Structure 1
Amino acid sequence: MAPLEISITAIGTVSPLGFGADCSWQAYRDPGHYLTRGAFPGDPAWAGQLPDVVGEALSDLTGSRPEYAALDRSVLLAILASRIAVKQAGWGRDEKFGVNIGSSRGATGLFERYFGEYSQSGRVPSLASPSTTLGNIASWVAQDLGTSGPGLSHSITCSTALHALLNGVAWLRSGMAPRFLCGGSEAPLTGFTLAQMQALKIYSREETGFPCLSLDPSKTNNSMVLGEGAGSVCLEPGIHPRSLATIRGVGYATEKLKHAVSLSADAACLQESMRLALGDLPAGEVDVVIAHAPGTRKGDLAELRAIEAVFGAEMPAVTSNKWKIGHTLGASGVLSLELAVGMLLNQEFIGIPFLEGAKRPGRLDYILVNAVGFGGNAVSILLERAKIQAQTLS
């Protein structure tokens, strides 16, 4: 028996491109990047910062309830993205659905602030512990939306958001939940986080037109840029009339740990996860792969080698969004998923402007989305164009 198909019925996002899919799609059609300077006091590093309109929404949110003023920025971004998704899906308050929202770093800003206070005075506020736990994200999202379903948070580095989708698919296929809200949230634009990335010698120092040269095989330096954002996806079982896209397959794999980064030269974990996601679909049917491609020399090259190993002579078009919005770590997978759904709905490929001569497909039916993080944890999600839309366009 074929596994139960899962429909994506809504996506809510907050990113350097703005609020929601409509705003994001228009920004994706703009060939320029959305990276700026000024996020890190005293350091001119590039970053994917949220626009002022998101800052205004965050201020409104923190002022709406006293307890929200004590939440970390990552939690607040998750609430904003989740509200957008649930409203789009038509899910009401007090309906039962599961929530799985993860983060790579969690309450980064709040933890650093509390630790700074402790370093100075030896004391911390009474709510320091509960407000900096990772489970804080899904718990507050579930509270805000009024759901009585399970609430899960986790951290699996940069593949966190797509691991949340794996969990949602598993819960729905098992029949243990009627609907699931999945995603990731990240607010990593702090001085200490930047220092950690710079210590790894992977942060961009590019002064060219594109600070992050994701997927550019000719780059001579690492060019990763941090970004902040959040995304939530509404999943429902079966073929749904409001489906934006269908999850055709899921794949996952973990490499044996040889280094703290632990990604082999040919990204064996990504090869395995892509093949698992493809299932019985011929490789030549895939139109696009949205690569994780953080902009590092070794990481990008390893993923390209993995894609070549899986697809061979039937190479699909390959693209990414980190050159445009930066690397949002644990939220990056769901923001890549948003790009994939946009391309399927609009039947338009979004390429990378500095990669001249790259393949550009016509009709789009299948898109594979990758994510991989420190520890060699890979996830691949195979999306199929929503069947109702596909019939309309046939």
Structure 2
Amino acid sequence: MELKRVVVTGLGALTPIGNNKDAYWEGLKNGKSGCAPITYFDTEKFKTKFACELKDYDPNAYFDRKEARKLDRFAQYALVSSDEAIADSGLDLEQIDKFRVGVIWGAGIGGLETFQTEVLNYAAGDGTPRFNPFFIPKMIADIAPGNISIKHGFMGPNYTTVSACASSANALIDALNYIRLGHCDVVVTGGSEAAVTIAGMGGFNAMHALSTRNESPETASRPFDATRDGFVLGEGAGALILEEYEHAKARGAKIYAEVAGGGLSSDAYHMTAPHPDGIGVVRVMENCLRDAGVKPEEVDAINTHGTSTPLGDVAELKAISAVFGEHAPNININSTKSMTGHLLGAAGAIEAIASILAMEHGVVPPTINHTVVDENIDPKLNLTLNKAQKREVRVAMSNTFGFGGHNACVLFKKIS
């Protein structure tokens, strides 16, 4: 069967460097760091005292107080970003066939703060099981797409993908395939996460996964730098409206880009560490290129997973060199996590948006905070260090990898 073409017609972002799509782009192109000391709880006894929190986010600006109490922050973020994307798409919700509109969302953890609060409250009590009646529906990861569909009446496929930090990239690929195969006309997709909590910070610190650069938080996320010492936890959401090309064209929609293909693979190696030779990463990029029908030499930019961990950054760049060979130095490689931190299950969504906006504006955002060259990294690679670079981007890829060895790669093309 002939697969249908899929395009992006709406974007929404709620990030540590901007609370909407346009503010996010301004932060990206200007190399803005979203990292600062944590304000949500007392970090005195924590190894890491900073994160990339949202700035000036007020739930009362989006929800009434009664509604906000029923929603964990990760679900609030999902509703805020998806509302922006739907408005940006110009979809007439009174005219479209809502049975053919799906919501496929990514979340690596879900309502961690809700779970933490309820357990702490129980532990502080007398043993009587007094739990909030909204405890379970606030916590479960699938409540985010559920709430989006309930709000707008979307009655197509509705679920959450959970693959750690690859979750929202998985969601995007699933959305692509549902439309390609003719099951949907439109899918609201993306991801959200709100893990900057006592349990989130404590858990990742226990794994020795986080940077402890407490003396200079704004420079702590430093992908590809020889002095990198772990990732910086972030929070927020990104939403994309994926639409069948003819459906979008018929209504005169603005088209940001075509979603040309996606690839998936598994490292099958270790719970948290990447394969040292990047075998799974090589395969996921090859799968993505094959699925999109794109040759390696056609790729202009790659937004890497680039978390600022000692092992992960090197393994990914080795894989890029292996896949793209002589063309690798011609690619603008970057890591926007240097600015936003690592949004876990929402990372794939906001980084896909960064790739699409780079195509729209002809500017590749920088990898900030680079000061010391890592001798284990090929010096011929263009890592887009410290300053944005102007470039026509016709084909862009976005990589996301998750604990458990989950790898996802999505490829976008300028529409033609």
TM superposition score normalised by structure 2: 0.87
The amino acid across from 2:232 in the alignment is V
The structural deviation recorded for 1:158 is: 0.2
Q: How does 1:47-196 map to 2 (within 5 A)?
A: 47-52=51-56, 55-56=57-58, 58-63=59-64, 66-93=66-93, 95=96, 96=98, 97-121=101-125, 122=127, 123=129, 124-196=131-203
Corresponding residue number in structure 1 for 2:355:
340
Runs of 4+ in 1 over 3 A off after TM superposition: 92-95, 353-361
Deviation at 1:361, TM superposition (A): 6.7
The DSSP-based 3-state class of the residue aligned with 1:7 is: strand
Q: Distance in 2 between matches of 1:101 and 1:140?
A: 11
| Structure 1 alignment gaps of length 5 or more | 388-394
What is the match of residue 305 of structure 2? 292
Q: 1:201 is matched with which residue?
A: 208
CA distance in 2 between counterparts of 1:267 and 1:229 reads 28
Q: Does 1:319 align with 2:334?
A: yes
How much identity, in percent, do the aligned residues show?
24
8 A contact 2:222–2:368 mirrored in 1: no
Aligned residue number for residue 43 of structure 2:
42
Q: How far apart are 1:262 and its partner, in Å? A: 4.8
Bigger CA drift: 277-286 or 356-365?
A: 356-365
Contact kept in structure 2, 1:162 and 1:333, CA below 8 Å: yes
Q: 2:271 aligns with which of 260, 278, 281?
A: 260
Deviations 1:312-349 (A, max 9, x none): 11111210111101100000011111111111000112
Corresponding residue number in structure 2 for 1:251: 263
Q: Which moved more, 1:176-185 or 1:36-45?
A: 36-45
Task: Report how far residue 99 of structure 1 moved.
Answer: 0.2
Amino acid at match of 2:196: L
Contact 1:201 1:222 in 2 (8 A): no
Kindly tell me the number of residue pairs found equivalent between the two proteins.
380
Aligned amino acid, residue 187 of structure 1: A
Q: Give the letter aligned to residue 373 of structure 1.
A: G
CA–CA distance in 1 between the matches of 2:144 and 2:368?
A: 35
TM-score (norm 1): 0.91
The aligned counterpart of 1:226 is 233
State the Cα distance separating 1:354 from its structure 2 match: 4.0
The one-letter amino acid of 1:50's match is: L
Q: Do 1:287 and 1:361's aligned partners in 2 also have CA atoms closer than 8 Å? A: no
After TM superposition, give the deviation of residue 298 of structure 1 in Å.
Answer: 0.5
d(CA) in 2 for partners of 1:332, 1:373: 10
Query: Is the 8 Å Cα contact of residues 252 and 380 (structure 1) preserved in structure 2?
Result: yes
Q: For residues 27 and 178 of structure 1, what CA distance do their matches in structure 2 show?
A: 32
Q: 2:377: which partner in 1? A: none
Asked if 1:214 is matched to 2:229, the reply is no
Across the aligned residues of Structure 1 and Structure 2, the Cα RMSD in angstroms comes to 1.9
Where in structure 2 are there 5+ consecutive unaligned residues?
372-381
In structure 1, distance between residues paired with 2:183 and 2:29 = 39
CA distance in 2, matches of 1:68, 1:31: 32
The letter for the 2-side match of 1:70 is K
Secondary structure of 2:237's counterpart equals strand
